[in-house]
Amino acid sequence: MNKSESKYFNTACLMDEALIALLERKDLEYITVKEICEKAGVHRSTFYLHYESVADLMEEVTQYINEQFFSYFSFNSNNFKEEIKKKDLKDLVMITPQFLRPYLTFVKEHRQIFRAAFKNPKGMQANMRFDDLKKYVLEPILKRFAIPAEDHRYWIDFFIHGTMAIIRDWVMENCVDSVEKIESVIIQCVRPQYGQDLTSSENKR
């Protein structure tokens, strides 16, 4: 990284952090460029050199926050691939707690940022790529189920967008429900199971 790139990176970090701090106190639509610049200690001209609007900065912040998550999330892809190969098909689940709980916990801790991002769907969609989830979990499982490769993107869209719709509702309600409850809801949606009482009554018929 050369000197000019380093200077831009440092300035961008200051503005990212300024927006994150402001989001703790107010919604995105009420945050001005002036406030961001004052908080970051930069001139308005510097802001407009890099961004056209606060929404543009919000997209960068969303990406920055997601990169933070994936940087500390340890995942041994080789071990997981071996697990997928050995498991019976009945035991394979498309959305696993191994990915889900750490991510839900992270979202809850950063709910102000995610709430703002969900209000800007274009930016949210651009930065929610879930590359690791697709590569190491969804695609290998789809292969085990012999789903044609050309159909993978439709299946993946269904699981990811459905999951994100639940997370969006949860975030917009300020994450009142517990991480464990949302995890359970998502997994039940992906793989419905009858409750014990219903199973018992069905067996009696």
How would you write the pLDDT of the chain (205 residues) with one tens digit per residue? 333 455 667 888 899 889 988 887 888 888 999 999 999 999 999 999 889 999 889 888 877 777 777 665 555 656 666 777 777 777 666 667 777 888 899 889 888 888 877 876 554 554 455 666 777 778 888 888 889 999 999 998 888 888 889 999 999 999 999 999 999 999 888 775 544 443 333 344 4
| CB distance 19 to 57 below 8 Å | yes
pTM of the complete model beyond 0.75: no
Environment class of 144 (CB within 10 Å of its CB; exposed 0-12, middle 13-18, buried 19+): middle
